[in-house]
Amino acid sequence: MHKITRELTTAAAGAAGADARVRSELRYGDTRVDSADHLYVTVRASGNEAGRRAALANLLQTLGAVATRNGLTQDAAVESGGLLRFSYRRGGVVTHTIHLVSPIAVRAAAPAAGSSAGARGPDKSPARLAIILDDLGGDRAAADAVFALRYPLTLSVLPGHPHSAEIAEEAYAHGYQVMLHLPMQSVAGEKAEAAELHPGLAPGEVASLVTQMLDSIPHVAGVNNHQGSQATANTELMSALMPVLRERGLFYIDSRTTAATVAFASAQHAGVPAGFRNVPFLDDVAEVDAVRRQLTLAIDGAKQKGEAIAIGHPHAATLRALGEILPELEAQGVRLVYASELVH
């Protein structure tokens, strides 16, 4: 089966063009995970729906020819946003799952042209708010619930979890911005990830670990810290991290899990575009009313400061509150933006 997967990968790369991203995961026969090989093909946005559809049709035809030649049959495809997913079978057993990603634009939560509601400053530009949702990667259902929110959110994905790569692929396909939620050591003794940055690592060890994590998550535009109250307060560690991000052209968002953090300052010193959470966390109390109040604080903070970066998590209460409040941003003169738009 792996030989067929390599044949599918080669065919997809030829059909999708030089700008496409093609990667495979060889899982067939591995009892620890689902036993199908996975193929991910990401094609560049064509700028129009007809072009996007034509690119997908060409890919389907090319892959179908390889499948038929190897005695595979195709299940019905499921499409959601910019993701088209289907499986191939042989003898009734799923052997390959194909993910065709063609990103589409999300709906912007921005004031209508000419609107003065909530305008600020002499140029009447609206306040800007970025909302980052952390901790994606382990819960497939939580990711699907996030994808139902068709707004320009920024999703930060933990590496090394069962669905990390596929959630990042699908987030990108749905038009969200993807970040690496980089595990770092905390002071309070929260549950640690399998691998994390901690004081005492040599610069080469930092570079190796971070590179491995970045390579495991597709479409990463930036990085923020997971936990990290001890790590982000360590100047040597942060100074070792930032050149890795600079070389990849990534930005950094300091989640500010401690007042002693030096991460933002280290990023600026290293020439890495950076920002930091400057309003309270959205869901320290994961109840709908509490999240509503925190979202109101974030909106007010954006209006007062001109821009704000808020951080929450894919809790059911958080997603419900976002679903209620995001449609109201336009009337309040606040524009929802990706985190990358608020780094300096």
Q: Say what the pLDDT of residue 45 is.
A: 60
Together in a domain, 184 and 234: yes
Q: Say what the pLDDT of residue 257 is.
A: 94
Q: Say what the pLDDT of residue 49 is.
A: 73
Q: Which residues contact 173 (CB under 8 A, 6 or more apart)?
A: 42, 81, 82, 83, 101, 102, 103, 104
Is the residue at 269 inside a domain?
yes
> For residue 153, what is the domain's CATH number?
3.20.20.370
Helices (H) and strands (E) in the chain, counts: 9, 14
**Residue in the structure block whose two tokens are 């049709």:** 57
Q: Say what the pLDDT of residue 258 is.
A: 94
Which residue stretches of the chain are H helix?
Answer: 2-16, 49-69, 140-147, 164-173, 203-216, 235-248, 263-270, 288-305, 316-325
Q: How many domains, in total, are found in the chain?
A: 2
**Residue in the structure block whose two tokens are 């060409």:** 58
Together in a domain, 94 and 142: no
Stretches where the chain sits below pLDDT 70 are 30-34, 45-48, 104-124, 189
Give the Cα separation of 293 and 271 in Å (integer): 35
Together in a domain, 338 and 298: yes
Together in a domain, 93 and 164: no
> For residue 93, what is the domain's CATH number?
3.30.460
Together in a domain, 64 and 10: yes
Strand partners of residue 136: 157
Q: Which residues contact 255 (CB under 8 A, 6 or more apart)?
A: 134, 224, 225, 226, 228, 232, 276, 277, 311
Together in a domain, 92 and 131: no
Is the residue at 206 inside a domain?
yes
Residue 37 lies in domain: 2-101
Together in a domain, 222 and 305: yes
Q: Say what the pLDDT of residue 46 is.
A: 59
Digit-coded pLDDT (tens) for 8-33: 999 999 998 877 889 898 888 766 55
CB 223 within 8 A of CB 154: no
Q: List the one residue out of 38, 56, 45 whose CA is nearest residue 19.
A: 45
Is the residue at 330 inside a domain?
yes
Is the residue at 116 inside a domain?
no
Task: Record the pTM.
Answer: 0.78
Together in a domain, 80 and 178: no
Together in a domain, 135 and 60: no
